[in-house]
């Protein structure tokens, strides 16, 4: 019998394959290793990221549902809640007590109730509604607040890049 | 590509050097001497040796690991960097021994270390892949075998050379290979555990515990080894700087392992003592997927105070990290302390108060039975004289009884002691005397047979107190103590009272329903006297039946003549809800509404309640709701340990 982390990841993969949420594809990069996934997230409609297809990588810890995975976009991103190197900073990816930003309430933190699907859906809604109090990317946060047009322009450029258009 | 070209260049250089030497000397020994005398030639030879070693390493890696995964490679690169810097530090310590042979030994050590790290990563990978082939097992087993043989050989070699030649750099090698041997043993244990797990049919819950203890034991060995080595090094040579980083990491991981063991033990203890096992019915409920592992709960599962159910093993590993319910984040360390052990009555009262506003959880001098004291003051004064009932003030005294010594009264002597403001009017007797389960039923049933009403007290209510005379002085003192058991006993008494009140309300509700279904407007009131009747001495039961029927007439007139404002005179505010609905008992529709509304919030406070949202729907599914409440009450009665006599 495989370990519980592996069994749960396999179950989640099965679930995601059978009932894929709209605009999200996710699965192990290599089915020999279920602890490294890649995901493709389409930008939510009606936002500046609309139309983009953003690849990301998820790395799961060996005690997976007890600790959260790490998520990192592998394409260029410009967003208040995404570090320059692509790491995603949202509360669902942090366990309570592990608080890099110091503002998140524990209700939306990681717990085994969460899942890959919920993480990806949270990321989609994060793309739609950035939290500009989080300083993962200070420049982006500032621009989001003060110069929305410029922000939209950069986002559109990134969207075009992910589609291989420019 | 670059590696290949480097290999080729070094090979070409070596052949040139060797060919040149051979061309000049024509013979083997003179050629060797010629090469060793020339520094450039020796440099070429050394480079060639290094290339050969690297190639050998690559070959070994292909044999034992196949293609390295990206993560493994990163890991290896990180650790190699540290290992190389530490080796350089060690070189400074042994400047005198510096020789090609010494360097070669260090390089060999580095290679072997790298293989140990890779083996560790590989064995950890067993948990991550669903596909473990026989080649994997073959590789891991043979690798561990080779590594342990090599480690043993070098430890032995270092020991021999130290014994024969005195302390030298061989001590460092011996120690490093000892550490590597530990790592091999650790990997071997992990491998065995993983293999057992992979080949077992069912999930192996205790594997995590075994891994934890392995970690602790191996950590302890390593720490001891490091400290021994540190002492030896300081005494013979000097402070070994190159030792500090690995030593720090070893200590840190050892501390973490010990911490994990402590947390795990605490989690297991909590699991075993604080939380009940989920019953088969709860497990067979519709959605019984454990939220932690996403698998069905067929085996050992635990229920938390918030009614969430999880696998015991899943919960244990979660509690090692956080002491909250994974689903609702209830802090399970705080809640059970209040609810189950009653160590903190004030906090417990606060916790209960919002759910149970109608029942005061702390001793309250003014707490009286609302039906009697609040609603019908002066209605049954004759009871006291006629039947010589027990004095009505059980509540103020009850809290002073320790567990095992249930509340009790000195018969008819303490009527004026600590009772309510109107002792004479408090016709409410103390908790029920022991009676057979069906004893009081004839009186509880309404006089019309075809009502679909279940017996309200299928289970005897809380035990009555034995006489005070049975207690010795010591027990009496214990009753008054403020220690934990005393408080627990008081809380227990209050819970009993609470149950009595709940039961009374339920009873009333059933009567009103019965009255409504029978469409009569005459005979529904006797329920109020039922409490006194049932709880009075069994001898008094028969005469009381006539009394209660007579009193029913009286009470039927009360609601109209006495508005509820007057009924609150002696009733604490928090029991008002009980009293205020009694006057409306003649209007069964209103009663239905008021009791339902009142019972539902109360049921939130019970640990087994699940349906807080069901209260709005009571109007429709009234009987179902009733059944549900009754079931819970019964559960509660049977679940709560009752005071023994
Ligand atoms: Zn589980
Ligand atoms: Zn819960």
Helix B538-561, helix B527-535: angle, nearest 10: 150
Which pLDDT belongs to residue B333? 66
A75 included as an active-site residue: no
Between strands A70-73 and A33-42, the pairing is unpaired
| pLDDT tens per residue, range B458-503 | 444 445 444 555 556 665 566 566 666 666 777 777 788 788 888 8
Return residues with CB closer than 5 A to ligand 2 (ion): B 306, 308, 325, 327-328, 330
* Whether A114 contacts chain B with CB within 8 A: no
**Element holding B339 (H helix, E strand):** helix B334-339
* Distance (Å) of CA B76 to CA B59, B117, B178: 16, 7, 20
Q: Please, are residues B428 and B371 in contact by the beta-carbon 8 Å criterion?
A: yes
Task: Give the residue-averaged pLDDT of B426-453.
Answer: 41
User: For chain A, how many structural domains are there in total?
Assistant: 1
Task: Give the residue-averaged pLDDT of B283-294.
Answer: 79
Which pLDDT belongs to residue B480? 61
Between strands A53-59 and A70-73, the pairing is antiparallel
pLDDT band at B436 (very low <50, low <70, confident <90, very high): very low
**Element holding B485 (H helix, E strand):** helix B484-518
Kindly determine whether residue B125 and residue A67, on different chains, have CB atoms separated by under 8 Å.
no
* Distance (Å) of CA B620 to CA B514, B593, B625, B643: 17, 11, 9, 38
Residue B429 has pLDDT above 50, yes or no: no
Which residue in the list A89, A140, A141, A155 is annotated as catalytic?
Answer: A89
Residue A34 alpha carbon to ligand 1 centre in Å: 19
pLDDT above 70 covers a percentage of chain B that reads 55
* Whether A32 contacts chain B with CB within 8 A: yes
Which pLDDT belongs to residue A163? 87
Task: Give the residue-averaged pLDDT of B600-612.
Answer: 39
Helix B244-274, helix B312-319: angle, nearest 10: 130
Residue B120 CB contacts under 8 Å (≥ 6 apart), including other chains: B183, B186, B187
The mean predicted confidence, pLDDT, of chain B is 67
DSSP code for A104 = -
Q: Which of B339, B198, B337, B205 is nearest to B268 (CA)?
A: B205
Burial of residue A124 (CB within 10 Å: 0-12, 13-18, 19+) is buried
**Element holding A80 (H helix, E strand):** none
Residue B241 has pLDDT above 90, yes or no: no
pLDDT band at B345 (very low <50, low <70, confident <90, very high): very low
* Whether A161 contacts chain B with CB within 8 A: no
| pLDDT tens per residue, range A8-41 | 999 999 999 999 888 899 999 988 889 999 999 9
Which pLDDT belongs to residue B518? 66
- The values of phi and psi at residue B56, to 5°, are -60, -45
The CB-based long-range contact list for B130-137 (8 Å cut-off, 24+ gap) reads B130/A2, B130/A6, B130/A10, B130/A31, B130/A32, B130/A34, B131/A31, B131/A32, B132/B198, B135/B66, B137/B195
Which pLDDT belongs to residue B469? 56
Strand locations in B547-623 (E): none
Q: Which residue has the tokens 């404002």?
A: B565
| pLDDT tens per residue, range B191-228 | 999 999 888 887 787 888 888 899 999 999 999 999 99
Which pLDDT belongs to residue A13? 93
* CB < 8 Å to B123, chain A: none
| pLDDT tens per residue, range B117-147 | 999 999 988 888 888 889 999 999 999 999 9
CB nearest A33 (choices: B129, B200, B314): B129
* Whether B235 contacts chain A with CB within 8 A: no
pLDDT band at B321 (very low <50, low <70, confident <90, very high): confident
Which pLDDT belongs to residue A103? 53
* Best residue in A1, A4, A8, A72 for a mutation probing chain B (most B CBs within 10 Å): A4
* CB < 8 Å to B292, chain A: 8, 65-66, 112
Q: Which two tokens stand for residue B316?
A: 């244990």
| Least confident residue range of A95-104, B232-241, B514-523, B570-579 | B570-579
pLDDT above 90 covers a percentage of chain B that reads 13
Q: How far is B578 from B51, CA to CA, in rounded Å?
A: 92
| Least confident residue range of A151-165, B108-122, B175-189, B513-527 | B513-527
DSSP code for B370 = I
Kindly determine whether residue B125 and residue A33, on different chains, have CB atoms separated by under 8 Å.
yes
* CB < 8 Å to B194, chain A: 3
Q: How far is B276 from B360, CA to CA, in rounded Å?
A: 27
Kindly determine whether residue B314 and residue A95, on different chains, have CB atoms separated by under 8 Å.
no
| pLDDT tens per residue, range B90-105 | 777 777 766 778 888 8
Structural domain span for residue A115:
4-163
Q: Which two tokens stand for residue B274?
A: 């604080």
Chain-centre distance for alpha carbon A26: 11
Helix B588-605, helix B622-639: angle, nearest 10: 40
* Ligand with an atom nearest the CA of residue B295: 1
Instruction: Give the residue on A whose Cα is nearest the Cα of B322.
Output: A96
Residue B303 alpha carbon to ligand 2 centre in Å: 9
Q: How far is B541 from B436, CA to CA, in rounded Å?
A: 13
Q: Which of B625, B587, B345, B372 is nearest to B501 (CA)?
A: B372
pTM over 0.90: no
Q: How far is B612 from B605, CA to CA, in rounded Å?
A: 10
pLDDT band at A116 (very low <50, low <70, confident <90, very high): very high
Backbone Cα Rg of chain B: 41
DSSP code for B295 = S
Q: How far is B472 from B491, CA to CA, in rounded Å?
A: 22
Q: How far is A124 from B415, CA to CA, in rounded Å?
A: 71
Q: How far is B594 from B580, CA to CA, in rounded Å?
A: 9
Q: How far is B113 from B533, CA to CA, in rounded Å?
A: 85
- Which CATH number characterizes residue A33's domain? 3.10.110.10
| Least confident residue range of A46-50, A70-74, B242-246, B568-572 | B568-572
- H helical segments located in B432-483: 441-444, 473-479
More confident residue, B420 or B235: B235
Interface pTM, i.e. ipTM: 0.86
Q: How far is B603 from B356, CA to CA, in rounded Å?
A: 8
Task: Give the residue-averaged pLDDT of B634-640.
Answer: 45
How many CB pairs lie under 8 A apart between chains A and B?
83
What counts of helices (H) and strands (E) characterise chain A? 4, 4
| pLDDT tens per residue, range B353-396 | 334 334 333 334 333 343 433 333 334 434 444 444 444 443 43
Q: How far is A1 from B557, CA to CA, in rounded Å?
A: 74
Q: How far is A129 from A135, CA to CA, in rounded Å?
A: 15
């Amino acid at each position: 019998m495989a370990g519980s982390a592996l069994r749960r990841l396999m179950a989640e993969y099965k679930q995601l394959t059978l009932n894929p949420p709209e605009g999200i594809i996710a699965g192990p990069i290599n089915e020999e290793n279920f602890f490294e996934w890649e995901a493709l997230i389409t930008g939510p409609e009606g936002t500046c990221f609309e139309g983009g297809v953003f690849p990301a990588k998820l790395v799961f810890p060996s005690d997976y549902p007890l600790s959260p995975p790490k998520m990192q976009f592998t394409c260029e991103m410009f967003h208040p809640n995404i570090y320059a190197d692509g790491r995603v900073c949202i509360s669902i990816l942090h366990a309570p007590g592990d608080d890099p930003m110091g503002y998140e309430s524990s209700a939306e933190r990681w717990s085994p109730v969460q899942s890959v699907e919920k993480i990806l859906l949270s990321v989609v809604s994060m793309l739609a509604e950035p939290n500009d109090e989080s300083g993962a990317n200070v420049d982006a946060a500032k621009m989001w607040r003060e110069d929305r047009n410029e922000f939209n322009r950069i986002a559109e450029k990134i969207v075009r890049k992910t589609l291989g258009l420019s | 590509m670059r590696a290949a070209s480097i290999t080729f260049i070094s090979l070409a250089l070596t052949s040139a050097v060797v060919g040149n030497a051979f061309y000049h000397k024509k013979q083997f020994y003179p050629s060797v001497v010629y090469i060793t005398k020339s520094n450039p030639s020796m440099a070429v030879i050394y480079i060639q040796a290094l290339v050969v070693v690297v190639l050998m390493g690559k070959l070994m890696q292909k044999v034992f690991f196949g293609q390295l995964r990206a993560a493994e490679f990163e890991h290896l690169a990180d650790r190699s960097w540290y290992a190389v810097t530490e080796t350089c530090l060690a070189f400074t310590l042994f400047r005198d021994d510096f020789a090609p042979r010494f360097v070669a030994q260090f390089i060999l050590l580095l290679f072997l270390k790298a293989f140990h790290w890779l083996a560790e990563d590989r064995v950890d990978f067993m948990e991550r892949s669903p596909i473990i082939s026989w080649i994997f097992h073959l590789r891991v087993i043979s690798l561990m075998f080779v590594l342990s043989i090599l480690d043993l050989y070098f430890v032995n070699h270092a020991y021999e050379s130290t014994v024969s030649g005195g302390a030298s750099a061989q001590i460092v090698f011996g120690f490093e290979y000892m550490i590597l041997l530990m790592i091999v043993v650790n990997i071997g244990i992990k491998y065995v555990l993983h293999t057992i797990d992979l080949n077992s049919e069912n999930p192996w819950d205790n594997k995590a515990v075994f891994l934890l203890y392995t970690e602790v034991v191996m950590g302890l060995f390593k720490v001891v080894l490091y400290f021994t080595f540190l002492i030896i090094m300081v005494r013979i040579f000097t402070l070994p700087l190159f030792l500090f980083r690995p030593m720090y990491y070893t200590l840190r991981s050892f501390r973490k392992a010990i911490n994990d063991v402590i947390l795990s033990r605490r989690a297991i203890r909590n699991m075993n003592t604080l939380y009940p096992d989920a019953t088969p019915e709860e497990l067979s409920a519709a959605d019984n997927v454990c939220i932690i592992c996403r698998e069905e709960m067929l085996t050992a599962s635990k229920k938390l105070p918030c009614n969430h159910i999880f696998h015991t093993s899943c919960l244990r590993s979660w509690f090692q990290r956080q002491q909250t319910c994974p689903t609702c984040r209830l802090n399970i360390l705080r809640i059970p302390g209040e609810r189950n052990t009653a160590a903190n009555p004030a906090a417990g009262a606060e916790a209960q108060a919002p759910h149970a506003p109608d029942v005061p959880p702390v001793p309250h001098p003014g707490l009286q039975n609302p039906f009697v004291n609040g609603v019908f003051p002066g209605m049954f004064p004759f009871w006291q004289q006629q039947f010589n009932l027990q004095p009505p003030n059980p509540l103020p005294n009850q809290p002073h009884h320790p567990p095992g010594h249930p509340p009790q009264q000195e018969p008819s002597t303490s009527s004026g002691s600590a009772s309510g403001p109107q002792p004479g009017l408090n016709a409410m007797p103390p908790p029920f005397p022991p009676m057979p389960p069906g004893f009081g039923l004839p009186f509880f049933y309404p006089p019309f047979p075809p009502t679909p009403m279940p017996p309200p007290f299928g289970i005897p209510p809380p035990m009555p107190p034995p006489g005070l005379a049975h207690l010795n002085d010591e027990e009496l003192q214990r009753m008054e103590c403020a220690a934990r058991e005393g408080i627990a006993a008081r809380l227990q008494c209050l819970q009993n009272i609470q149950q009595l009140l709940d039961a009374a309300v339920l009873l009333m509700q059933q009567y009103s329903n019965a009255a409504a279904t029978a469409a009569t407007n005459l005979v529904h009131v006797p329920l109020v006297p039922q409490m006194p009747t049932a709880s009075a001495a069994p001898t008094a039961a028969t005469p009381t039946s006539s009394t209660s029927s007579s009193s029913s007439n009286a009470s039927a007139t009360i609601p109209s003549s006495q508005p509820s404002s007057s009924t609150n005179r002696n009733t604490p505010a928090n029991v008002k809800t009980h009293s205020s609905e009694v006057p409306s008992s003649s209007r069964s529709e209103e009663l239905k509404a008021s009791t339902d509304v009142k019972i539902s919030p109360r049921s939130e406070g019970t640990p087994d309640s699940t349906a807080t949202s069901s209260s709005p729907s009571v109007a429709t599914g009234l009987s179902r709701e009733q059944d549900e409440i009754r079931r819970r009450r019964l559960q509660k009665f049977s679940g709560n340990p009752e005071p023994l006599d």
